[in-house]
Structure 1
Amino acid sequence: MFDWLVLKALFRPVLLRWECFRCCSSVRHLLCLIALLAGGSVLTHAPAVAAEPVAARSDLTATIDRAIRSAWQQQKIEPADRCSDPVFVRRVYLDLLGRVPTMEERDTFLANASADRRSKLVDQLLTSPEQAEHFADLFDAILLGRGNQGVYDQREKHGWKKYLVNAIAENRPWNDVAAEVLLARPEAPQQDGAVWFLYEKKDKYQEIAEAVAPAFFGIRIECAQCHDHMMVDEITQADYWGLVAFFNRGKNKMTPNGPRVVESAIGGFSEFADLTGSSSPNRLQFMGKGPLDEARPKAGDKQQDKDELYIKAAVKNDPRVPKFSRREQFVKQVLVEHPLLARAMVNRLWAIMMGRGLVHPYDEIDSMHPPSHPELLDALTQDFRESGFQMRRLVRALANSEAYQLQAIRPESVNDPQWFAWYLQRPLTAEQMARSLQVVLRGEASLNRTLLASLRTQVPDVLPDNVQVDVTEALFMTNGAQLEAMIQNSRQPQSLHQRTLRQSNHPSRAKWLVDAVLGRSADQAEIDAITAYLAERDDRLEQAIDQVIWSLVSSGEFRFNH
């Protein structure tokens, strides 16, 4: 059992501000515990690092750099310095692969003396199978939200996760992916998983509409259910019920080919009332598109569901298809050419890589939330459309940008994060944490699914509006039996515990632990503190090493990307 004083020192549920990282250093917890804190912060100002040659940076990266730099000049902002290579390699592995690098991967990068080593690493990671897995995890959470283990099991079973992985690995155009997901009419087995987005909603049409709007258009429409949005003029009650109408003829059905969302050729007509009691018909419209032409029965007339209203499905054993399909009309007339489809994805990818969107929150692209850099958002959206909705192109440009590669140290004269004058650190997702713990503790880039299931209920959601560590997460990291067991059971030859034991003396062990877990060199105060801690426990050295490891992996410095 771990020493109570160690746990007490580790237990630090804390609201993390952008400018505050000092209090989260794991070794600082240990230093406080043994009264040997010797000043200084992990994120003190480091010497500026030279930028890569201009030739190594794409035109799209240059567009980003010019716009961000122009805003700095207008706001009279002196940005943070460029981050060091050890910081960059950890950061970009977390953002692109969803885990910290192994020590071998990190050392290989640091040994590369070429001027364009960072952009080459970005290219390497973007073509890794792990990149597709990580971004599939992100988009699973962004598009469908979190759930219990049963929810994730169903997504795996019915091909949703596999569909996302393949789409990202193949760098498929986002507009094609969006169309397949919302039409939910697969034409080949590799598209079967796309059906699950609608199927998981279990014929709850308002839930479908309220999920489609932020996931594909970057807006929230919940406030327009009973009246026009009171703060955002362009979001109307007619849009809310129009979006519902596009999907309200669907019905889940399990077929020999798997889950399908059958669509009726009739029904789905209704009226909605505003707060004054005035009623209006639900017409096929959404955010400037429509109303679409559709034959509407007269009041009191009962529609007949006839075979002549349908055509045979293109795939054997699939349900018949209405000649006038509302979902198909939505995809063709509203979705694929809607300006928000590209704009929302650009803003979302910016938020994933930069910590917040050019519009913040990232899924509220409306007149109430103007972009911080409107011309840049316009330019990136245009490029995204003209390049064929390629996500990889934009992610590459963002990872190579000047703003992405800044230190995570807020300049003293800057308070507003919207100017991206420093790297905005963010908590690791459950998937990033699970993979990173496996890398650090076991020395292998794999996923412990049991640990992941627990973490998904404990750590912050993907792209949270506010960065806050709550008591639940703090308890899991500082007093969780599962994490304790994972540390104590790491007895394989390549595990962190065993590799630490093989070091020749306590100072070497101290240096090794900080280097292995935090990806940086230990300072002398940390070396002295850990050395003294281990020396006092020579009679129970293995337990003491586990305690130091727990202190390190429980720290903000490990649990955040910075």
Structure 2
Amino acid sequence: MRSSLALLACAVACLLVSLRVPAEADEQHAPSVNQLVDAALRKVWEAEGVKPAELSSDAEFLRRVYLDTTGAPPTRAEAKAFLEDTDPVKRERLIDALVGDPRFGRYLADYWTAAIRGRGAGQLNSSDLFAAWFAGRVNAGAGFHEIWREIVTAKGNLADAPAISVYFNESEPRDLRDVSGHLSKVLTGVQIQCAQCHKHPYENIEVADFNGMTSFFVGATARVNNDVRPARVTLTESDENVRRIKEAIRKRDSLPKEQQALVDVYAQFIRPRTLDGRAPASPDPGRWRGELAQWLVGEGNRQTPRYIVNRIFALAFGRGLHEPVDDYNSYTSPSHPELLEELTDWFVAQGWSVRRLYAGLLKSRAWQLSSVAADRKAQPRHFASYPVRHLGPEQFIAVIVALADAGDLAQTVHAAKRKVFADARKAAAEHAKQKQEGRLPEGERRYSYDLESLAKYEKWIESMPDDWLLRRTAAARYARLASDDEMAESESFTSSIDQALAVMNGEFTNRISLVSEKSLLGRIFKEYRSPEDRIRELYRSVLVREPQAAELQRALDFVDSAGATQRNFEDLMFALLMTTEFATNH
């Protein structure tokens, strides 16, 4: 079962719970997402006597909406255009524009790649390929049921189908049981991994259930051929594994005891069953993943769309209607069950469009509330104010990059990636030359080069804008600073300017901290003459708002204390960078 393959089995059905199919919505009369959210939360506030926060200011909204849709702060021009706009519906217009922007697809790709694939490492890693593929599917308008199906049924060469990367570590196929538990968690929110060796401790999931789900992928074989450069990573389908297992079962009694035990293990993975007991209609193992995918996103299975809706709600509001977002079980329940079901109905009726769902969430008054709570009685489940939350790694790096005006540095990172491909082509040419001349070293004779796949890998990387590639490269290193004891990435981070700068080169640090030609402070000193104007622009650039009167006076007193020197402004800038306001979305 060399197919250490990722048999996604996943789980969803662990909570196949309600099987009702939402009726087709009448778009002219059905409530919008923002109406559903605001009505449900208003009802709770009134019933429990909770006073919601005031509406956010335009400056608060502006920074928040850019970070929550593009993963980066607004540019100076974008901020100026919005703040000077007097159109009463300018917020709705901006939300529609940003959610329709390709940057939104890349923002979602960062979020889901971290959860599904991990951020990866190295000059060329399959995590970047997966992110580029995922962003492309979102920006092409694919519904999430299509994307989930493509992940489950992915096959071929990694260079053509980056979705297969979820079934591999960077250097080898993942154990099919590990993948089964992982993908159940990240695609459906149902954790079945505890049933690998024994009955689930608190759910009605037996080892046979786990094995039945994993068996759907027995027809797939994952391979990494390291004798090819770059390594050839493939996922293929056939009935070969099933035939071998059945043949081994027939010969079992004549085998040594150690091999009999191995046969007994493999024999558990040729009887696919969903968690609600459904067997595939086809006897062909090569079709089983397709049937699993159809069950996973089919009309009768509400858990998958419910899970996606809840995670997208959590992405917008800082926490889900169900917590934890990736652990649905019989001991947890939603804080607002009716709202979660209504949003799930809406989502399915709209073709599983996360873009439309997210736009609706951001248009709600609840999402646009100030982060300054108005009522001490309010708890997180009330969503009575916008939650102050640490920026994610990609967001935090993006904010730093924006301050450093690092477009040319982003090009440098992309150039380093290009050099990897150029060096590989040179090595291939030299290898071919030495082989033709009969002087290829013995240790190199077993290797070959796949220039076609190399070109395809390069095309995926070239599809990524410079700033996005820089963000992902630095964020992968930054995220590892928050890894746990087992070196697993964390999905939550505490942002630190020192940590962020630790993963960047000295040029970044200089551009942020010094008054130089290419630095933010250098630009401010060039464009503004008075200390007050310089302070105001510093606040606008770092915090995306004007300083309050008291803040302005304190800053003036500080920079004037030694004659408004450059060093004082450098210290003031670092003081702003060290604030919670800078390191959080609020």
Conserved 8 A contact 1:429-1:459: no
Structure 1 distance, partners of 2:502, 2:165, is: 37
**Counterpart for residue 535 of structure 1:** 560
Shift of 1:537: 4.3
* Matched residue type, 1:120: R
Higher helix share: 2
- Find the counterpart in structure 1 of residue 140 from structure 2: 170
CA-to-aligned-CA distance 1:379-410 (integer Å, 9 cap, x gap): 11111111111111100100101211111123
Q: Does 1:141 align with 2:166?
A: no
Note if contact 2:209-2:273 (Cα within 8 Å) is conserved in structure 1.
yes
Correspondence 1:96 to 2:69: yes
Q: Mark the runs of 5 or more structure 2 residues left unpaired by the alignment.
A: 1-27, 250-265, 408-465
Q: For 1:416-452, what per-residue CA distance to the aligned partner results, in whole angstroms no more than 9, with x for missing partners?
A: 2112111112211111112122223328693545643
State the distance in 2 between where 1:485 and 1:494 align.
7
- 1:332 counterpart = 2:303: no
Structure-1 separation of matches of 2:536 and 2:310: 40
Distance 1:229 1:536, change over 3 A: same
The structure-2 alpha-carbon separation of the partners of 1:380 and 1:258, relative to structure 1 and needing over 3 Å to count, comes to farther
Q: Is the 8 A contact 2:72 2:395 kept in 1?
A: yes
Match of 1:558 in 2: 582
1:548 to 546, 567, 572: 572
Residues 146-172 of structure 1: CA distance to partner in whole angstroms, max 9, x if unpaired? 33346x63333xx32221111111120
Q: How many residues align?
A: 467
CA distance in 2 between partners of 1:62 and 1:463 (Å): 36
Asked if structure 1 preserves the Cα contact closer than 8 Å seen for 2:218 and 2:285, the reply is no
Residue type at the aligned position of 1:263: E
Question: Which of 237, 261, 266 is the aligned partner of 2:235?
Answer: 261
Per the alignment, do residues 433 and 73 of structure 1 end up closer, same or farther by CA in structure 2, a change over 3 Å counting? same
Q: Which structure 2 residues correspond to residues 131-530 of structure 1 after superposition, within 5 A? A: 131-149=104-122, 153-156=125-128, 159-185=129-155, 192-200=161-169, 202-233=173-204, 235-253=205-223, 259-267=233-241, 281=268, 283-292=271-280, 324-337=286-299, 338-442=301-405, 446-447=467-468, 448-449=470-471, 451-458=474-481, 469=494, 473=496, 475-476=498-499, 482=505, 484-488=509-513, 491-492=516-517, 495-530=520-555
8 Å CA contact 1:431, 1:452 repeated in 2: yes
Aligned-residue offset at 1:414: 2.5
Q: Is the 8 A contact 1:500 1:512 kept in 2?
A: no
Which residue of structure 2 lines up, in the alignment, with residue 12 of structure 1? none
Tell me the distance in 2 between the aligned counterparts of 1:210 and 1:382. Answer: 27
Structure 2 CA distance, aligned partners of 1:154 and 1:505?
50
Matched-pair contact (CA < 8 Å) for 2:133–2:163: yes
Residue identity in the other structure for 2:294: K
The 2-side partners of 1:452 and 1:489 are apart by: 23
Q: What's the CA shift string for 1:173-212, capped at 9, x where partnerless?
A: 111111111111369x996222222244714112211221
How far residue 249 of structure 1 moved from its aligned partner, in angstroms, is 4.2
Letter in 2 for 1:505: S
Identity of aligned residues (%): 24
Query: Following the alignment from structure 2 to structure 1, what is the Cα–Cα distance between the partners of residues 85 and 42?
Result: 29
> TM (normalized to structure 1)?
0.74
Moved more, 478-487 or 391-400: 478-487
C-alpha displacement of 1:289: 4.8
Whether the 8 Å CA contact 1:199–1:260 is kept in 2: the answer is: no
CA drift of 1:91 comes to: 0.4
Deviation at 1:527, TM superposition (A): 2.0
Q: Distance in 2 between matches of 1:197 and 1:552?
A: 40
Q: Structure 2 counterpart of 1:522, which letter?
A: P
